[in-house]
Chain A
Amino acid sequence: MSFPLLTATAALPALGAVATAAVPAAQRTAAKWLALLVSLATLALAVTVLVRFDPDGERYQLTENHAWIEDFGVRYELGVDGIAVALIALTALLIPFIILAGWHDADPLETGSRRWRPTQGFFALILAVEAMVVISFEATDVFLFYIFFEAMLIPMYFLIGGFGDRAHAHGEETAATQRSYAAVKFLLYNLAGGLIMLAAVIGLYVAAGNFSLTEIADARANGTLHMATNTERWLFLGFFFAFAVKAPLWPLHTWLPNAMQEATAPVAVLITAVVDKVGTFAMLRFCLQLFPEASKWATPVVLVLALISIIYGALLAVGQRDIKRLVAYASISHFGFIIMGVFAMTSQGQSGATLYMVNHGISTAALMLVAGFLISRRGSRLIADYGGVQKVAPVLAGTFLIGGLATLSLPGLAPFVSEFLVLVGTFTRYPVIGIIATFGIVLAALYTLVLYQRTMTGPVKPEVSAMPDLRVREVLVVAPLIVLLIFLGVYPKPVTNIIDPAVKQTLSDVHEKDPRPEVEAAK
């Protein structure tokens, strides 16, 4: 039996989480270093997955398949396609930066405060989330996926509710109440989605007799498993609802701004750049493969909701006064693009959507982490409390601008490639929706540049006049992300090469072909 690489990639951070939590209370620094090293080792495993994966080979590779709960046909079944490989790599890549950026986020507060912050717990929870996200990307057994899809809510809940920004305008008590509200809202929304999905998972078992994605998808493709139209639609809706909450899609989005606002910046990145990606990923993998006809049936509605997300999220971002809420609404707009790309049912749209998940992860991490550095210096999330920062902290301002430019999809940076692919992939089939979505690029420029102008330019506010520029640790977080944004903007081929074959297969699952151009080159 070969080495279970996929299991190892998920198990390592899980064991790391346990080990980190077990470090004695006094050894805070050791716990941090342990967590960082574990995340780097996980990254090494993820890179191994990436290298071992053959884009032109079998659809699911590095598979592992063991009996688990035999009576109910639940199996421990893992396997990755190109889409999963790209997202595992993204996750493993971001976690070290999240840990490094949050290095001091869980330090005990200064003496005099009664609140103790469990440093070990903070880093252990981050690793636990990583483990669950990774296995969600790997699981090809629907029930196995479901378990971790839901289980990751628990560490996330504690990360949001237990750790907030250092200083808070209304004092620690109010902050704790608001954090707790945000954490509960996050949990309730996602549990509600999860419960509905659970019903659908059971329904799927009743209809199919097992939980294996590959078996069910094959049986559906060759006609041995027939589902009544209505059954398929109801099951689709059950799955889709849970993923649309997690992604999140308008109008199920309102938990995200609260959660991102109250969590520390690295945890906010963990939510939007990593955990939420499981939702959009699962739409591609489960909704489209298991319920192809229902997916096509729902496409018009989903596209309209995605379009609303794009424009609505961007407009709300324009109206925000809180930096982190602004980034949250921008993310809602971006998730609209991803979902639109998935359901456009063209290869450009779906390749673009997958690439978008990767690029959005990196660009949001860059923007949000720098925003976190900014907020930690001034102790305020309000845009109006800043002004003229570029004069006192030019490197901070410069990296913030690059993060912003990536968010507005400037050509030359990675997000442009994916956004344009999504737009063009949608346009070929739904020109009107494609054109309206294009307004999103103007609005993105508006909220990003207004944010930059109000915080970074103008006369230096007295409160920021002594603000230090980025420290070495902070530069170490941001610089590699910026290099990646530029590299993948100029040369996205390494990623598209991995994604492309998987997208082709997904597209054939739903029996769709790209529209042909009207005028073809005479051959």
Chain B
Amino acid sequence: MENLIAPLIAAPLLGAAVLLVGGRRLDRGGHWIGVLLSFVSFALGLVLFADLLGKGAGHRTLTQHLFSWIPVAGFQADVTFRLDQLSMTFVLLITGVGSLIHLYSVGYMAHDERRRRFFGYLNLFLAAMLLLVLADNYLLLYVGWEGVGLASFLLIGFWQHKPSAATAAKKAFLVNRVGDMGLSIAIMLMFTTFGGFAFGPLLGTHEEPGLVGGASEGKLTAIALMLLLAACGKSAQVPLQSWLGDAMEGPTPVSALIHAATMVTAGVYLIVRSGAIFNAAPDAQLAVTVVGAVTLLFGAIVGCAKDDIKKALAGSTMSQIGYMVLAAGLGPIGYVFAIMHLVTHGFFKAGLFLGAGSVMHGMNDEVDMRRYGGLRKYMPVTFVTFGLGYLAIIGFPGLSGFFSKDKIIEAAFAKGGTEGWILGGAALLGAAITAFYMTRVMLMTFFGEERWRNAPAPSPAEPSVEPAAEAGGEHAVPHPHESPKVMTIPMIVLAVGSVFGGAFFSIGDRFLNWLEPVTGHDHGDSPLSAGVITGATMVCLVVGVALAWAQYGGKPVPALAPRGSLLTRAARRDLLQDDFNHVVLVRGGEHLTRSLVYLDHSLVDGVVNGTAAGFGGLSGRLRRFQNGFARSYAVSMFGGAALLVAATLLMRAV
């Protein structure tokens, strides 16, 4: 059965190769190859899942060794795959949601002349993401890790004739590379400490602790912090979060799949997978929880201030991943819930993004929510599916988010001590802000007056208009309409997952029992009872919704954004992160490289030339070179060298 793991990755990889190398003859129907191979991968995932379910809980690990990748004295990296409960969960999420989004894209990208390439890139992403979660060692994981970064780069910049898209793509790759440095250093540390970096020997199992047990806490803390740096880059966590908002330049299905449901959660995977290392490094764990708590608030605040529907959702993604990272930092109390929230978030956030795409599709690719309003009448399916996703993310009782987020808040309090209160408080506050900004999105889009009827022409300051709008020429009043079935069906499926996923996982602790053999689990002691915490969460939810209602439901939404408070203005600018980066890194870097270019020419070149001239007494002749009489001199110099040789040889002979 383990021989099916490689085909699982190979199917979408084949699709990418065929679509990207195949050329124009595949322009017409090639995208269906991409869809088909994505579903093939999903089907293989289901077969493997059935196989794992048939085994006992302790024997659900399959490994497939393909070949020896880098065999150098003392250094061994293999291409080996590992399928256990943790990677299986990801495989189903990636291929399941991935297939739905492939299908949706058939409708969404129907009019794009480079559609074939789009599906090639999507397939490439699937293959890289599957490699990331199925790799059996950190170096192979690294290949998938940067592979998804490449796919993300290509897809953010898919409309690369737009300078903003090309810039956003480059920024995403660069910020991620900073994180990748962390992963590189972590692997190097593992190599010097343990002589290897394969999961099995390093991390061990419950019964048999791995090599990690023999290392000093300082080493493990260093490794864990480097892994955290990598996770911050990939999962857009503070301080490497700045690329995610810009990444919304990519086509919306990309935002749904890569920048919401799967790739950005890879950091959480990395931390949970490396649980054995983090468990032995409490200082690093504290850092993880701090990063998670800060980001969950940061993203939520940014999400409140954005008028661009996709950027509001991007803030929300950042914030929800903050929850997952917080949970992962709590150790065995939180691992299972981090992954459970990751999966439910995969359903509802992908659904929300697809809904946003559907709205844009029907609105001439408008993204400014101030030019939406009252759309529920025109797009009933989008409205209902988006609405269910909304209820799921704010944690409405009974829906997915309710179960998974509540567990994280409980676990945060269970951390104990002052830390527990601070982390739990932050998570509660985050729940209130989530309710606020999501209600705001919901109200501005689907309720209220139909502001698009007399919308002003898009201002030049808003370059994020997608090409179909440019092609439309005149800024005609949009005619909102429901999207075709190929788009709405994936939305409906995801909505079903958003509604029932959490309950299905939680009843009888299904998800906990499934993952526990890999991640381990502790029941922490919370200072507050579960009931009190649920009650507090509900209060936060109600307060958030009520505040949003007061501002956006009760009174009309102005078509142009009001000036807003200092915090609002800062939040619109992503809390000034880009301004900071610009001043410190971009400007500083430009000055540095410019001065170096100057110094290289005037100083280094000059000194070396000068020294050479001085040594040889050549300065007078050097002037002649610049007049173009160089060749004769060069030849004479070589002749001189030859003479020297001859003289020496002669001396030896005599």
Residues of A within 8 A of B (CB): 69, 71-72, 150, 153-154, 157, 161, 177, 180-181, 183-184, 187-189, 191-192, 194-195, 198, 202, 250-254, 312, 315-316, 318-320, 347-348, 351-352, 388, 390-391, 398, 405, 410-412, 416-417, 420-421, 423-424, 427-428, 431, 434-435, 438-439, 441-442, 445-446, 449-450, 452-453, 456-460, 490-493, 496-497, 500, 503-504, 514-521
A contact face: mostly helix, strand, loop, or mixed: helix
B418 interfacial contact with A, CB 8 Å:
no
A250→B596 CA distance, assembly (Å): 13
A449 touches B163 (CB 8 A): no
How many pairs, one residue from A and one from B, have CB atoms within 8 Å of each other in the complex? 212
Cα distance A150–B608 in the bound complex, in angstroms: 20
Q: Please state if A435 and B72 are interface contacts (CB–CB under 8 Å).
A: no
B550 at the interface (CB under 8 A from A): no
Are A316 and B192 touching (Cβ within 8 A)?
no
A251 to B602 alpha-carbon distance, docked (Å): 13
Most buried by B among A189, A319, A492: A319
How long is the Cα–Cα vector from A352 to B71 in the complex, in angstroms?
11
Whether A496 contacts B142 by the Cβ 8 Å rule is: no
Classify the secondary structure of B's interface with A.
helix
Additional A-B contacts beyond A312-B596, A420-B139 (15; CB < 8 A): A72-B649, A180-B628, A192-B615, A315-B592, A320-B597, A347-B74, A388-B161, A446-B174, A453-B167, A456-B160, A492-B70, A496-B70, A517-B192, A517-B194, A519-B193
Q: Is B147 an interface residue (CB 8 A)?
A: yes
Contact residues in A for B616 (Cβ distance below 8 Å): 192
Q: Name the distance in Å between A482's Cβ and chain B's nearest Cβ.
A: 10
Docked Cα-Cα span, A434 to B605, in Å, equals 28
Are A441 and B177 also in contact (CB < 8 A) when A194-B641, A195-B641, A457-B161 are?
Answer: yes
Is B161 a contact of A424 with CB atoms below 8 Å?
no
Complex contacts, B71 vs chain A, CB 8 Å:
493, 496-497, 500
Pick out which of these stretches binds chain A: B181-189, B347-355, B428-436, B440-448. Answer: B181-189
Flag if A491 contacts B177 (CB, 8 Å): no
> When the two chains form their complex, are residues B163 and A459 in contact, meaning their CB atoms are under 8 A apart?
yes
Quote the shortest CB–CB distance from A249 to chain B (angstroms).
12
Task: Find out whether the CB atom of B604 lies under 8 angstroms from the CB atom of A441.
Answer: no
Residue of A nearest to B67 (CB): A491
B177-A442 in contact (CB<8A): yes
Q: Given A180-B628, A251-B607, A442-B174, A517–B185 Cβ distance below 8 Å?
A: no
B72 touches A347 (CB 8 A): yes
Decide: A519 and B652 in contact? CB cutoff 8 A. no
Taking the complex as formed, is B559 at the interface, i.e. its CB lies under 8 A from any CB of chain A? no
> Does B580 count as interface, using CB distance less than 8 angstroms?
no
CB < 8 Å: which of A194, A427, A450, A458 contacts B192? Answer: A427
The answer for the CA separation of A195 and B638 in the assembled complex, in Å, is: 9
Tell me, yes or no, whether B576 is within 8 Å of chain A by CB.
no
Partner of B626, one of A181, A319, A405, A492: A181
B637 at the interface (CB under 8 A from A): yes
Interface range on chain B (Cβ under 8 Å from partner): 35 or more
The residues of A that contact B70 with a CB separation of less than 8 Å are: 417, 421, 492-493, 496
In the bound complex, do residue B147 and residue A514 qualify as a contact, i.e. CB atoms below 8 Å apart?
Answer: no
Q: Which residues of A contact B72 (CB under 8 A)?
A: 347-348, 351-352, 421, 496, 500
A410 & B150 in contact (Cβ 8 Å cutoff): yes
Residues of A within 8 A of B219 (CB): 518
* Nearest 3 pairs of A and B residues by beta carbon: A517-B195, A319-B593, A457-B166
Residues on B lying within 8 angstroms of A by beta carbon are: 20, 67-75, 79, 139, 142-143, 145-147, 150, 153, 157, 160-163, 165-167, 169-170, 173-174, 177-178, 180-181, 184-185, 187-189, 191-196, 201, 211, 214-215, 219, 589, 592-594, 596-597, 600, 604-605, 607-609, 612, 615-616, 625-626, 628, 630-631, 633-634, 637-638, 641, 644-645, 648-649, 652-653
Q: Which residues of A contact B185 (CB under 8 A)?
A: 427, 435, 438
In the bound complex, CA of A154 to CA of B641 (Å): 13
Cα distance A69–B646 when bound, in Å? 12
Nearest residue (CB) in A for B597 is: A319
Q: Are B170 and A449 in contact (CB under 8 A)?
A: yes
A-B contact pairs, 27 of them (CB 8 A): A187-B634, A188-B634, A195-B644, A198-B641, A198-B644, A198-B645, A253-B604, A312-B600, A315-B593, A411-B145, A412-B146, A424-B188, A431-B192, A441-B177, A441-B184, A445-B174, A449-B174, A457-B160, A459-B163, A492-B69, A493-B69, A493-B71, A496-B71, A517-B196, A518-B192, A518-B193, A518-B194
A284 to nearest B CB, angstroms? Answer: 15
Residue in chain B with minimal CB distance to A257: B600
Contact (Cβ within 8 A) A428 B191: yes
B142 with A411: CB separation less than 8 A: yes
Q: Identify which of B20, B157, B194, B612 contacts A192 (C-beta below 8 A).
A: B612
* Cβ contact of B608, chosen from A252, A416, A496, A514, cutoff 8 A: A252
Contact B167 A347 (CB under 8 A): no
A492–B628 alpha-carbon span in the complex (Å): 47
How far, in angstroms, from A250 to B455 measured CA to CA in the complex? Answer: 60
CA A423 – CA B184 in complex, angstroms?
9
Cα(A161)–Cα(B635), bound, Å: 14
Please tell me if the beta carbons of A517 and B191 are within 8 angstroms of each other in the complex. yes
A347 in contact with B73 (CB, 8 Å): yes
Q: Which residues of A contact B170 (CB under 8 A)?
A: 449-450, 452-453
In the bound complex, how far is the Cα of B174 from the Cα of A318, in angstroms? 13
A53 to nearest B CB, angstroms?
Answer: 18
Least Cβ distance of B592 to chain A in Å?
7
Which residue in chain A gives the minimum CB-CB distance to B144?
A411
Q: A411 and B143: CB pair below 8 A?
A: yes
Q: Given A71-B653, A198-B645, A453-B167, check contact A519 B214 (CB 8 Å).
A: yes
